[in-house]
Each structure stands twice: as structure tokens, then as C-alpha cells.
Amino acid sequence: MTSQATFNPQAFIELALSRGVLKFGEFTLKSGRVSPYFFNAGLLNDGEALTLLASGYADQLIACENVEVIFGPAYKGIPFVAATAVALSQNHGVSVPWGFNRKEAKDHGEGGVLVGASVAGKKVWIIDDVITAGTAIREVVTILKNAGAQIAGVLVALDRQEKGQGKLSAIQEVQKELEIPVHALISMKDLMDFLAAKGEKEALAKMEDYRVKYGI
């Protein structure tokens, strides 16, 4: 793979499976739902995997408006946002300031919970792995707004395309409540297309059942 990695959803799914980032089977989620697949972006923990993910985020951001600062929520979002800043520079020739937050405020040195580029008066895109309940994203949005940022949008790796508490998905709830766009690199539909192309009928049938129960 070259440094000019271009993002392809099916190639990313292959890589995610090979790294154990994506697994098919039976997994009980925090919500109590038994999901036929599990996605843990924290396992994208080598250079090739992170390069591919970051190239996907960078490709998306180039097509977005108001990209003045990119921001990675602690802790998982920190390597994602750093790698995406590198991908924007290397692949697209665009230098975008980036920052992240600490879980605990520092009372010495520069202090505070925000690290990196200033967000005051800036239009900020948040980069994260998934939005499950939306709680974490709402917390980060509050932190950024308190620092004077305007939230331009959110980028995630996976859209599970399933209902939250009501009829909307967690992503749709965030979009509606915060009035911002949320884009995903891959979706549950991409996973199902992948299984169909591979002839994995049993896994596909379980995904279909889950989509009928909880899909949007």
C-alpha cells in the first residue's frame, strides 16, 4: 500500500476483518441488543490500518464545507484526528489544524481540557469511530461550544443504521438535535453488500433479521 492510500469501503471491510476490528457472530451490546456483528476501531492499531482509515476521513473532509479545525475526542479519536491531518496534507495538499481533549482538566502548564489548535471562533469537524448512543458526541460538542467553536459536522467510521431510543438512529438523532451533518465511511448496508458478494448466506441472513428488528 502506498502513502497515497485511497479509501474503498470493501477493502476497508476486508482489512477490518483481518485485524479483528470487525467480527461477525453474536455480540451483546450495552443496549442489551444481540448484534450479529461487532466493530472495535481501537484495533486499527498498526500503520497500514490507520493509513487506510485516515485516507477515508481525509477524502470525506475534502468534499465537506467549513473544515477549519478537525478534532478527535479522547481517547480513541486522538490517533484518528492526528492521522487524518497527515492524510489531508500528504494526499490532498491541505494543511488543517487539529486538536483533541483531555478526560481530566490540567491545572498546570497550559491547563484546561483542550489540546492543540485553538477552536475559538472556528468551524470544527469532529472525528470519531462510531456513534452508538450519541452521549459521547454530545459531551464533546458541549466542550467545544464552551470554548467558542462552531460545530461544522461529525465524521465516523461506521454507521450502524439502527434505531436509538425512538424511531431515529443515534446518528439521525444527533443530526436533528444539533443541526449538523454526520457522515460515515461505511454503513451496515456496506457490510451486508460485502457478505452478499462473498456468498456468506448465514451471516447475511442474521444481518437481515437484525435490520428488520432494529434498522432504520
CATH of the domain at 193: 3.40.50.2020
Residue 73: half-sphere exposure toward Cβ, Cα within 13 Å: 21
- Active-site hit among 23, 30, 76, 106: 106
Cell 451483546 locates to: 28
Cβ neighbors of 174 (< 8 A, separation 6 or more) are: 131, 134, 137, 138, 154, 180, 182
Does residue 40 lie within any of the structural domains? yes
Does residue 2 lie within any of the structural domains? no
**pLDDT tens for residues 156-200?**
999 999 988 788 998 999 999 999 999 999 999 999 999 999 999
Does residue 3 lie within any of the structural domains? no
Does residue 1 lie within any of the structural domains? no
Cell 452508538 locates to: 132
Does residue 4 lie within any of the structural domains? no
Does residue 174 lie within any of the structural domains? yes
Is residue 33's pLDDT more than 60?
Answer: yes
User: What mean pLDDT value characterizes the chain?
Assistant: 91
Catalytic-residue membership of 106: yes
- Active-site hit among 30, 103, 108, 167: 108
The residue segments making up the domain with residue 154 are 9-214
Q: 189-198 long-range CB contacts below 8 Å, 24 or more apart? A: 189/161, 190/9, 190/10, 190/13, 191/13, 191/22, 191/37, 193/10, 194/10, 194/13, 195/24, 197/10
pLDDT on residue 5: 61
Count of domains observed in the chain = 1
**pLDDT tens for residues 85-124?**
999 999 999 999 999 998 876 665 555 789 999 999 999 9
Mean pLDDT of 6-31: 91
